[in-house]
Amino acid sequence: MIGGRKVIVVLPAYNAERTLERTYRGIPRDVVDDILLVDDGSRDRTVAVAESLGIPVYRHAANRGYGGNQKTCYQAALDRGADIVVMVHPDYQYPPERIPELAGLVASGHVHVALGSRILGGGAVRRGMPWYKYLSNRLWTWGQNLCLGQRLSEYHTGFRAFSREFLSRVPLLENSDDFLFDNQLLVQAVAFGYRIGELPTPATFSHDASSISVWRGTWYGLGVAAATWEYLGHRAGWWRSRRFDPAGRRLTVRAEVLA
């Protein structure tokens, strides 16, 4: 716990057999109260490795996509009484040793969403981020900051922490089941007035790290632009989007847990 607040780490997993144990061993148990894994139809031994480590496993019979995996992760964490939820990729791209810092930022009450930024502090390319990914990251981030009035260093990190309030009150179920989920969630944070904070997080880029192809990355970039435009149009009253409507579909949470 941090300040009496229950911290749960969620691992959205897909074919993470080779790196799962290393990620799990790096999670600081003096701060983290619970760890759970959602397997998204892996074709390797991810589930077997998780069970051998004693990690509670939630299993999708068929692949639902990265965003669909996260939806299950956050629902399961809320069901288990989480006050702060930290998402860590089990591919060891992001150092789990930094979880206390990220969770602590949310526990401070200054922000509801905390991001482990690969860009802050520099050195992303030196650590292995491909140049084309770095440049596209900077371009998309510049554009969204300009449109959303933010000053984030990046919108595309997969190392994140959230407050229970944010996860239970924002209509996350209206978001994509694919990689665009991450970006839509941050646009929602801006739309609903939740504060976002960042901490520098040195990431490792290797062949085991999760990634998307250039083609899917291009579609992702178009989706980022669409998510931003969708919100701006909603805010201006040109159309209504359930993604930015308080009545949109949200995760469920028991009243006694939310209180």
Q: What does each of the 259 residues of the chain score in pLDDT, given as a tens digit?
A: 898 999 999 999 999 999 999 999 999 999 999 999 999 999 999 999 999 999 999 999 999 999 999 999 999 999 999 999 999 999 999 999 999 999 999 999 999 999 999 988 777 777 777 888 888 888 999 999 999 999 999 999 999 999 999 999 999 999 999 999 999 999 999 999 999 999 999 877 655 445 555 666 678 889 999 999 999 999 999 999 999 999 999 998 764 443 3
Residue type, 217: G
Note the pLDDT of residue 128.
72
Tokens 């009035």 correspond to what residue? 149
- The span from the CA of 122 to the CA of 126, in Å, is 9
Instruction: Dig out the tokens for 61 from the structure.
Output: 């019979």
What does DSSP say about strands 113-117 and 160-163: parallel, antiparallel, or unpaired? antiparallel
Report yes or no: 146 and 136 within 8 Å, Cβ to Cβ.
Answer: no
| Domains of the chain, residue spans | 7-245
- The span from the CA of 113 to the CA of 223, in Å, is 21
- Who's near 65: CB < 8 A, 6+ residues apart? 40, 176, 177, 178, 179, 181
Note the pLDDT of residue 214.
62
- Who's near 120: CB < 8 A, 6+ residues apart? 153, 198, 199, 200, 201
- The span from the CA of 139 to the CA of 154, in Å, is 10
Q: In terms of C-beta density within 10 A (0-12 exposed, 13-18 middle, 19 or more buried), how is residue 163 classed?
A: buried
Note the pLDDT of residue 168.
96
Burial 81-97 (b: 16+ CB within 10 A, else e): ebbbbbbbbbbbbbbbe
Note the pLDDT of residue 253.
74
CATH assignment of 7-245, among 3.40.190.290, 3.30.420.10, 3.90.550.10, 3.40.50.920: 3.90.550.10
- The span from the CA of 185 to the CA of 170, in Å, is 9
Q: How many Cα atoms sit within 13 Å of 221 on the Cβ side? A: 18
Instruction: Dig out the tokens for 237 from the structure.
Output: 């009253």
Note the pLDDT of residue 255.
47
- Model confidence, pTM: 0.91
Report yes or no: 251 and 75 within 8 Å, Cβ to Cβ.
Answer: yes
